[in-house]
Amino acid sequence: MRQMIEAVDLTKDYGSVTAVNRVSFSVAEGELFGLLGPNGSGKTTMIRMLTGQVRPTAGSARVMGLDVADDPIAVRRLVGIIPEQETPPSFLTAEEYLHFVARIRNLDAVEERCDHWFDLLEFGEKRNVLCKDLSRGTRQKLMFAQAFLHRPRLALIDEPLINLDPIVQRTVKDFLEDYVQDGGTVFLSTHILEIAAEICDRIGVIHNGRLLSCGRTEDLAGSGRSLERFFLDLVRGDAGA
């Protein structure tokens, strides 16, 4: 099976803070992988390293076969990225923003691509609204559309469902599950246990920059323990260690 992400001893220091500490894992094609961890555990730093936005202090990562430190631009060209709490430019309409992204990515059939996303995520009636006037949920739909506009085979998404109402959450979860069914691969970060339990095939638990556990979602909790119990025991046990 093709590995879409391979991280080996990946480490990031910010001065005296080690945000990510010698983390190794891999994500295979067709997996929906969730990096689960409390606030400040290193999730965003991990995504930034995997997308070439932050250079690792030590260790290495290959994304779709490319070394992210050597080839960050090529990695960003290939993958879809939804950064944490990023908002589209306030001065463009939703449709203008997608056209802008399409131009940067040099895409053809732009109208068809945009229509597809407006229909799929059900926000076509907002296409001519300035991004600054969109609700948070609609802005997040737009961020999904921009990330998937070039039909990437791998998407890296920081906190995909935070602040979304249950209806938008359902739409996004269904979309991610369909995307993976069709052969796409997702690496997402979240601190919301229910999301990880519901949609992720495999989960890595990160705390204080270290990967404490990594395995199939159904195996992690084991023997009837809920994912919540498993997670709390793991993180609290680590804090006390």
Ligand X SMILES: Nc1ncnc2c1ncn2[C@@H]1O[C@H](COP(=O)(O)OP(=O)(O)OP(=O)(O)O)[C@@H](O)[C@H]1O
- Give the total of residues touching ligand X (CB under 6 A): 12
Residues in 91-110 at the binding interface with ligand X, rule: CB under 6 A: none
Ramachandran assignment for 36, one of left (phi > 0), alpha (psi -120 to 50 degrees), beta (any other): beta
State the nearest-atom distance from the C-beta of 94 to ligand X, in Å.
Answer: 26
Q: What does the block give as tokens for 199?
A: 């949609």
Q: Which is nearer to ligand X, 76 or 191 (CB)?
A: 191
Residues in 5-24 at the binding interface with ligand X, rule: CB under 6 A: 14, 17, 19
State the nearest-atom distance from the C-beta of 20 to ligand X, in Å.
Answer: 7
CA distance 234 to 57: 26
175: Cβ–Cβ under 8 A, 6 or more apart, which residues?
A: 120, 121, 144
Residues in 183-202 at the binding interface with ligand X, rule: CB under 6 A: 191
CA distance 31 to 156: 12
CA distance 235 to 240: 9
Site string for ligand X, 36-75 (x = CB under 6 A): -x-xxxxxxx------------------------------
State the nearest-atom distance from the C-beta of 154 to ligand X, in Å.
Answer: 19
Q: What does the block give as tokens for 223?
A: 């023997």
Q: List residues near ligand X by CB under 6 A.
A: 14, 17, 19, 37, 39-45, 191
